[in-house]
Every structure is written in C-alpha cells, then in structure tokens.
Amino acid sequence: MFDIQEIRSQFAILNQKVNGKPLVYLDNAATSQKPDSVLEVCKQYYTELNANVHRGIHTLSQLATEEMELSRKKVQKFINAKHDFEVIFTKGTTEGLNLIAYILTQKLKKDDEIIISYLEHHSNIVPWQLLCERTGAKLRVIPIDENGILQLEYLDQYLSEKTKVVSVNQVSNALGIVNPIEEIIARTRKHSDAYIVIDGAQSAPHFSIDVQKLDCDFFVFSGHKMYAPMGTGILYGKQSILEELPPFHGGGEMIATCSFEKTTYATLPFKYEAGTPNVGGNIALGAAIDFIEKVGKDNIQRHENVLLEYAQKQLLEIEGLKVYGEKAERVGVVSFNLEGIGISSDVGMILDKMGVAVRTGHHCTQPIMDFFSIAGTVRASFAVYNTFQEIDLLVEGVRKAQKMLA
C-alpha cells in the first residue's frame, strides 16, 4: 500500500489555508492537483528545452520532439493502444469529442441515428446535436432508472442499421456511476456497424484502460483530471478508421504536400495534430502517467473506493440527505442534496468558508438534473491524496450547512 502523507507531500498546493482553514480539496472530477514531478517537468521544459517540435533541425527542437514522442508512447502503454500513432494529442475531452463528431460528418445522412445516454456531460451531447444539424441525423438517448442506472434494454431497441454512432461515458461525472461499457460495446457490435466512442474523462484517472480489449473505435480523455496540466488530452482512434476519415483542423504539420491545386495529408498521428501543440503539457502528461504508475492504479482505485464508501456511509447518517445514484456501482464521486435546501451552491459556499472545496450546480449535465427534478447537487469527488480526516471535515461542514440553512 502507499503512504498517504508521502503522497500529499508531493502536492504543495494542498498544504495551504483557504478562508483561514486547511484546504480540503474535493473537486477532483473538475480537475485534479498536480504533483511536484509534473510541475518540475513543466518548469524544466520551459527552462531547458522549449522549442517547436517536428520542424527544426536544431538540437532543442529535436530534443523537444523526442520527449513529446516518448510521452505519446507512455500514453499508448497507459491505454494499451496497438500503435503509438493511434494516440492523438488534443487539449482535452471536449476537443476530442468535437473532433470525432466533425470528421464523421460525411458518414451520416438524413434519418441516421446517434445513440448517447442520459448520463452524458454536455460535451458528449452538443457535438452530436451539431452533427445532427449538419446531416439530418437523429439523436436517441438511453434512459436511466431512479438509481441512475442505464436501462440497456433501450439500447437493444434503438440499435438498427440506421445507427451510425454510439457514444457513452465510462463513468458519469455528475454521479460517479460506472457504466457497463463492455456490455454496451458487445451489444452494439452485435446489432450494427456503428462507430463506438467512449468518453473516458472520468474513468482514465481511476481505472486501467485497455482500448484493444474494449474494442472501441475511439476513446477520449483529459490530462488535467489525471494529475497532468490543463490543456492536455488524448484522442485514441483505431488506425484503419483514422486513416480513412478526413482531417479536422487544416494547417501546419498535418500536410504531406501543399499546393494551391491540391493538398495531401500527413500520416498518423500528425494528420490530426495541426498547428503547434502544447509540447510542455504533453510531455508533462507523460510525467503524470509515471506518477500514476508509480503509486499503482490498483492502489489508487482501492483508496478512492474506501474513501467513497466512508463518505457515503457518514453522509447518509445525516437526516434528509439524499445521495444520487446511491445504489449504483460508482467511483470517486458522491453527489447529494439536503432535503428542503433547494440551492446546492448555498451548501457549497458554507463548505468553502470551512476550507472544503466541492462543486455545486448541474455539473454540465442538465438532463440528469431534469430527470431528478433538481437544479443541481453538491458533489464531492476524490483523488489519491484525499484522507479520511478530510471526509470528516466535509461531513462536519454539511451538518453545519444544514443547521445554518434550515
């Protein structure tokens, strides 16, 4: 097992007071903090290595390129992609999903169908609505039951030769529910040739990912939710699909030849990486993967699960507190409201005064909030560095908020 104090000592930001109280950072589903090793790589990049990649004959450019390509290989291993060129650097999950929805435009026609689920973040809803507007395709949505669990019998009903895309998240950001993506992929493959897209924004920080075993066509995630800098993310796509589909952005680096008459495109992954990438960030993403692997993904997951269980048990002892998705399999998130207190941000503000950082509101998942007929929830989300004492402070804060707002 790991030494939690030793881990915390690697995150200087945690060692500060907010509103006069020790910071309790429980907003990790929004973004995680970054360990010293990642910050050090960022600093080192800008103090020793900064140069544009893939284009210079000079030494710094070559070194920066080598480091970034090394990081790509780390990501390849992290998600078990077959080839490193199937790993595309993006600025995050949102960009990855928009990229996929854009490059699939020519593959869809009027009355084709795109299946998503009720549990999606807006960034796995809106890009598909835009695709529907461009093509005349229709969106179908797998419903949830009162526990927030996907009702997969609807997926079976919806799947047909009209289905061109199935795009779901592996873990819901608002509720932390783990969706049965293996089952969703198996059922989809059985009944259609649809492209399968997995939003891994909330699973990559917690689970081991194996894109070959999953047999998805695309898998996207953000670096900043897994200890890497903001502005980093990954789009994985199967070689044959990325080779066949058109580019997204046009510009430098993504061409093989360019003339006014005709432009030909670079090979993978560069075809999808137009313009100057976030070189320092992409290198630091490799350092974040090193951090995760050093601690051990299984250890991280076990620790977060114990925290979740501990938090949920204590929170449920508070009278009138409802946890959304309480009975579903979940990871890293507890999302709740207090009876009679309609505005989750009121609770969030009182917690903030006590140094406890949580997210409140709809969490970019308005359809889930509509389903439960609420405006928002209070969401605490955990990472490797959180402790039982921090959860005690959360619970104490929620009890205090309840008294103050009653």
Active-site residue list:
364
The DSSP secondary-structure symbol of 178 reads B
**Owner of token pair 């040739």:** 193
Q: Does 94 bind ligand 7TS (CB under 6 A)?
A: yes
CA–CA separation, 322 and 340 (whole Å): 11
CA–CA separation, 173 and 190 (whole Å): 28
Q: Which residues from 46-85 bind ligand 7TS, rule CB under 6 A?
A: none
CA–CA separation, 61 and 276 (whole Å): 12
Q: Does 30 bind ligand 7TS (CB under 6 A)?
A: yes
| Residue number closest to ligand 7TS, CB atom | 173
Q: Does 380 bind ligand 7TS (CB under 6 A)?
A: no
Q: Are 102 and 284 in contact (CB under 8 A)?
A: no
CA–CA separation, 166 and 128 (whole Å): 10
Give the interface size with ligand 7TS as a residue count (CB under 6 A): 17
Q: Are 346 and 337 in contact (CB under 8 A)?
A: no
Here's the x/- map for ligand 7TS, 131-170, by CB under 6 A: it reads as --------------------------------------x-
**185 or 368: CB nearest ligand 7TS:** 368
Please identify, among the stretches 45-53, 62-70, 195-203, 260-268, the one whose residues bind ligand 7TS according to the rule CB under 6 A. 195-203
- CB neighbour list of residue 131: distance below 8 Å, 6 or more residues apart: 101, 102, 104, 105, 108, 114, 137, 165
**The only residue of 137, 363, 369, 398 in contact with ligand 7TS, by rule CB under 6 A:** 363
Q: How far is the CB of 28 from ligand 7TS (least distance, A)?
A: 9
- Count Cβ atoms within 10 A of the Cβ of residue 3 and give its class: 0-12 exposed, 13-18 middle, 19 or more buried: exposed
Q: Does 93 bind ligand 7TS (CB under 6 A)?
A: yes
CA–CA separation, 351 and 160 (whole Å): 48
**71 or 169: CB nearest ligand 7TS:** 169
Paired with 199 in beta bridges are 169, 220
Q: Does 34 bind ligand 7TS (CB under 6 A)?
A: no
**64 or 356: CB nearest ligand 7TS:** 356
Q: Are 38 and 290 in contact (CB under 8 A)?
A: no
The DSSP secondary-structure symbol of 267 reads P
The DSSP secondary-structure symbol of 229 reads P
**The only residue of 201, 288, 394, 401 in contact with ligand 7TS, by rule CB under 6 A:** 201
**The only residue of 92, 281, 286, 348 in contact with ligand 7TS, by rule CB under 6 A:** 92
**222 or 377: CB nearest ligand 7TS:** 222
Q: Does 26 bind ligand 7TS (CB under 6 A)?
A: no
Q: Does 211 bind ligand 7TS (CB under 6 A)?
A: no
Please identify, among the stretches 62-70, 176-184, 196-204, 208-216, the one whose residues bind ligand 7TS according to the rule CB under 6 A. 196-204
Q: How far is the CB of 20 from ligand 7TS (least distance, A)?
A: 26
Full 3-state SS string of 45-65: HHHHHCCCCCCCCCHHHHHHH
Q: Which of 324, 343, 327 is nearest to 335 (CA)?
A: 324
CA–CA separation, 114 and 177 (whole Å): 22
Residues near ligand 7TS, by CB under 6 A: 29-30, 92-94, 121, 123-124, 169, 173, 199, 201-202, 222, 359, 363-364
